[in-house]
Structure 1
Amino acid sequence: MFVAIRNSPRDYAWGSITEIAGFLGAAPSGGPEAELWLGAHPGSPARIADPAQAGGASDLAEWIAADPEAALGTELGDRARLPFLLKLLAAGGPLSLQAHPTSAQARAGFAREEADGVPIDAYDRNYKDEFHKPELIVAVSDDFDALSGFRPLGEVREILEILRAADASDAAPAPGALDLLEQHLEAGLADTVEWLLRDGRGEDTGQAVWVVERVVRLARSREAQESAYADSFATVVDLSGAYPGDPGIVISLLLNRVRLRRGEALYLAAGNIHAYLRGLGIELMAASDNVLRGGLTPKHIDVAELLDVLDFTPIAPPRLEPEQPSPGVRTFRPDVPDFVLHRVEPGAGESSVELDGPAIVLVEGAPVALAGERSRADVERGQAVYVTPDERRVVVRGDGVAWIATVGREASAG
């Protein structure tokens, strides 16, 4: 069964004014539109257009709770939970620096906060559920900018040398700030991040604030703006405008600055510190709301818990190359069973995707016709449908692009 679903974009302040409306073919609301959630997450479950298709349920969460076997199939129905959440994300400005826990960390953290009696909606609550939250983002806009993972240490040293050259040519040199930063870097990335966050926030701020101010000044220099790391220094300047004085500004220089072109993807595993900066993307993640923040935000930052969750191993930008199993199909398959994303563009012919469980299809650009083993549906630009697992496959025809989110084989096998 193909069940039409819809939702309203969430109006977080960092959202774009036009990007989601443009994708949907709708008139802009006039305010920021940040994320369109398509899934059963209780924070914003997708609404069912025709409740009669779902036993009278008004949204996916209600339907799954009432009839998990029909909505999820026999493999997932006993858990009564859709393991993934599909989002259309539009960043008009930078999101907070953040990381997500492993499954074991999430279970332990959730149990600990439950035992301590921390209200689920408390300002300082870290764990809203017992699940991990790996994420996949695929660029839909021509460019999508992000920070993701700690840079190789050689790059960090090169950036520090550029800052020293800029400081030496400054009208008022202050090498002490860079000396202080280097001392912490020599002690390790974890020491540096902890010092910046503890010393650079709140009322009792210390020397980290001076370092942030100095790095922002030097990032505007000719040496920085004409260097091989010009994009990273430009990001420092941009972040200082959005979050003046925030220690996350300096942390950004420790991270990979990534630019995705349309159709390129990043996979953010547990422990990866990241922030989306600008652009429109399809985001697919495990259905969780566990976020440990690390700067660029007025929200709560639990430094100790963040340090436990973060993976400080330097890496290259964690791009995920798609498989191309058949003409018109590109499959993004991360190393977790919770989700798989297919981008299907059939062109003049037809393309098909085999399903291992339920799926959600979001259509981009132009209408498509969908067919499974039991039913069919015509889906317009910007519309979405939930696909029950008894369809077993989705055949796509038409001029549009079908983004198909579904579960991995291990998840469907339980």
Structure 2
Amino acid sequence: MDLLQPIIKPYAWGSRHALARLQGRAAPSAGPEAELWMGAHPSGPSGLVRGGRATTLRDVVAADPERELGTDCARRFGGRLPFLLKVLAADQPLSIQVHPDRERARTAYAAQLRAGARGPYADDWAKPELLCALTPFEVLAGLRPPHEAADVLAGLGLTALRPLVDLLRDSDSDGDGHGDGDGRGDAQASSEALRTVLEWPSGRREALVGSVVDACRRHSSAGGPFAGAYDAVVRMARHHPGDPGLVAALLMRHQVLEPGTALFMPAGGLHAYVSGLGVEVLANSDNVLRAGLTAKEVDVPELLRVTDPTVRVPVVHPRTVAGPGLTEAYDCPAEEFALYRAELAGTCGPLVPGGGPRVALCVAGSVRLRAADGTAVRLGRGASCFLSAADEHVRVEGSGTLFVAAPGVAAPGVTVPGVAVDADSAPARAVLSHPTPPSSTPASSTPASSTPASSTPVSSIPPTKHIKDDNVVHIR
């Protein structure tokens, strides 16, 4: 077991309080801190000390993949740790974005390499994600059905939006509200509406966005099923005035995740995180295609190519599994990762899952992990560690909240080590539901303020030091 020295990504949308408080540092921080990375991705591998020598988790895995990952995991993922664990602290909205599937990532990244050109693909992996809320977390996730998107736009009463409303309603010519009447179909109508908004003529774009934001401001206080979505646009406009992504946001499902619930983001699912603090596990990739609400490079044609309007972004409710305290699994159909949470109240028992490569993160209280050979690691709030496949029969004790990320299930019939599954239940079955209706009570735009200050870190956590290097802050 190795204590990790995670990487802080100082993106502009990050909080100056949430991650600092989580790690027991002084707040506010000197600048925005958006993501805490715990993993082995090349653009931000976590540090650790192995055999008295400072190194990175990426180098440790590369030196002996079978020992660190286990034979099966090393074979399945080409000797690469398949997941990345993060804490996201969004004080401002993230970009409207989408992630590719494995095939598109492979072909597009290979084409970039052959051309020797810079492009939007950072690697050749897909990037499904699972976000678990620690505070109320406001999101835009997945495209609305055409009839619902039409209602949202029509509710603003703007003449400029009438062609979009007609386009979306034409997909439901039989009037049943399901968009299956005229052969064009929901997917094509949604794609065309999104394309129209993102490619709106530049000379008329500012006027359109301004009128939409003004209308959202008027209607956000009137109540109704879309008041929360209108209000979100008004708040996002403070950070991205004139951005066509503000109009595109109305085509997307708006909701607020309650703490403890999660959102699974498949490939092709359009999304934008608005505000909140959460734990995210994802495939070990940094492939992001953006089209709005960002100062970063956007690639509208590629985003439109990758976006799948039929993708529904499900809410994931945890399933109780055998383990110490209250141990829960956030099931989802991702091969690269799985996420578990244990709520411990002075309890002790086997760590779940019991084998394979794992990253454990303590977000509250203090816990102790002890291996069969007697080695032990204590994790205070904000501390994390890597457990290799060689770290077997690990027990956990203490009082606190522990998240554990691990590889996902390879295929139906393959069990996850350490997890009890009913005999009549497929191990990879996801406990999913469709997104809830749009909320009229969005999360606070400053979610970090609801996070209590951390107690003094335990002595086993290395002292924190920021070393700036381009767009990365290393924790030493």
Per mean C-alpha deviation after superposition, the further-off stretch among 245-254 and 216-225 is 216-225
> Structure 1 pair 160/71, CA: closer, same or farther in 2 (3 Å)?
same
Deviations, residues 72-118 of structure 1 (Å, cap 9, x unaligned): 22223452210000001100100001000000111111111112211
Classify the secondary structure of the residue corresponding to 1:106: helix
Per mean C-alpha deviation after superposition, the further-off stretch among 21-30 and 32-41 is 21-30
The amino acid that maps onto 1:68 is P
Post-superposition offset of 1:184? 4.4
Counterparts of 2:25 and 2:379, CA distance in 1? 15
Match of 2:344 in 1: 346
> Structure 1 pair 351/145, CA: closer, same or farther in 2 (3 Å)?
farther
Deviations, residues 49-94 of structure 1 (Å, cap 9, x unaligned): x2316xx451111111222223222223452210000001100100
> Is the contact between residue 329 and residue 351 of structure 1 (CA under 8 Å) also seen in structure 2?
no
Picking from 144, 156, 159, the partner of 1:163 is: 156
Picking from 276, 280, 289, the partner of 1:279 is: 276
Deviations, residues 114-167 of structure 1 (Å, cap 9, x unaligned): 12211xxx3xx12111100000100112x1111100113332232233212xxx
More helix by share: 1
> Structure 1 pair 223/348, CA: closer, same or farther in 2 (3 Å)?
closer
Counterparts of 2:393 and 2:82, CA distance in 1? 19
Picking from 193, 199, 217, the partner of 2:214 is: 217
The amino acid that maps onto 1:195 is T
Post-superposition offset of 1:8? 3.9
Gaps of 5+ in 2: 171-187, 416-476
Match of 2:175 in 1: none
Match of 1:306 in 2: 303
Deviations, residues 370-403 of structure 1 (Å, cap 9, x unaligned): 1334443222221111001122354321111111
Picking from 174, 177, 182, the partner of 2:160 is: 177
How many residues matched? 388
> Structure 1 pair 289/8, CA: closer, same or farther in 2 (3 Å)?
closer
Post-superposition offset of 1:307? 1.4
Picking from 101, 119, 134, the partner of 2:128 is: 134
Classify the secondary structure of the residue corresponding to 2:100: coil
> Is the contact between residue 103 and residue 132 of structure 1 (CA under 8 Å) also seen in structure 2?
yes
Classify the secondary structure of the residue corresponding to 2:238: helix
> Structure 1 pair 319/394, CA: closer, same or farther in 2 (3 Å)?
farther
Deviations, residues 180-204 of structure 1 (Å, cap 9, x unaligned): 332443471211211222225xxxx
The amino acid that maps onto 2:55 is S
Cα root mean square deviation, aligned = 2.1
Deviations, residues 276-329 of structure 1 (Å, cap 9, x unaligned): 1111100100001111112111222222211111011274x5201211112511
> Structure 1 pair 397/246, CA: closer, same or farther in 2 (3 Å)?
same
Classify the secondary structure of the residue corresponding to 2:87: strand
> Is the contact between residue 162 and residue 223 of structure 1 (CA under 8 Å) also seen in structure 2?
no
Counterparts of 2:84 and 2:138, CA distance in 1? 22
2:380 is the counterpart of 1:380: yes
Classify the secondary structure of the residue corresponding to 1:399: strand
Counterparts of 2:86 and 2:9, CA distance in 1? 11
> Structure 1 pair 189/209, CA: closer, same or farther in 2 (3 Å)?
farther
Match of 1:83 in 2: 82
The amino acid that maps onto 1:347 is A
Counterparts of 1:366 and 1:222, CA distance in 2? 43
Give the share of equivalent positions with the same residue, in percent. Answer: 36
Classify the secondary structure of the residue corresponding to 1:251: helix
> Is the contact between residue 248 and residue 295 of structure 1 (CA under 8 Å) also seen in structure 2?
yes
> Is the contact between residue 147 and residue 252 of structure 1 (CA under 8 Å) also seen in structure 2?
yes
Per mean C-alpha deviation after superposition, the further-off stretch among 244-253 and 5-14 is 5-14
> Structure 1 pair 117/395, CA: closer, same or farther in 2 (3 Å)?
same
Deviations, residues 229-260 of structure 1 (Å, cap 9, x unaligned): 11100111112111111111011111111101
> Is the contact between residue 145 and residue 278 of structure 1 (CA under 8 Å) also seen in structure 2?
yes
> Structure 1 pair 275/393, CA: closer, same or farther in 2 (3 Å)?
farther
Gaps of 5+ in 1: 165-174
2:311 is the counterpart of 1:328: no
The amino acid that maps onto 1:146 is V
Counterparts of 1:247 and 1:373, CA distance in 2? 56
> Structure 1 pair 223/328, CA: closer, same or farther in 2 (3 Å)?
closer
Counterparts of 2:222 and 2:80, CA distance in 1? 49
Equivalence map 1:12-411=2 (5 Å): 12-28=11-27, 29-48=29-48, 50-52=49-51, 56=53, 58-78=55-75, 79-118=78-117, 122=118, 125-141=119-135, 143-164=136-157, 175-185=158-168, 186=170, 188-199=189-200, 205-222=202-219, 225-313=222-310, 315=312, 317-326=313-322, 327-352=325-350, 353-374=352-373, 375-410=375-410
The amino acid that maps onto 2:146 is L
Post-superposition offset of 1:22? 1.4
Classify the secondary structure of the residue corresponding to 1:221: helix
Counterparts of 1:407 and 1:373, CA distance in 2? 22
> Is the contact between residue 349 and residue 397 of structure 1 (CA under 8 Å) also seen in structure 2?
yes
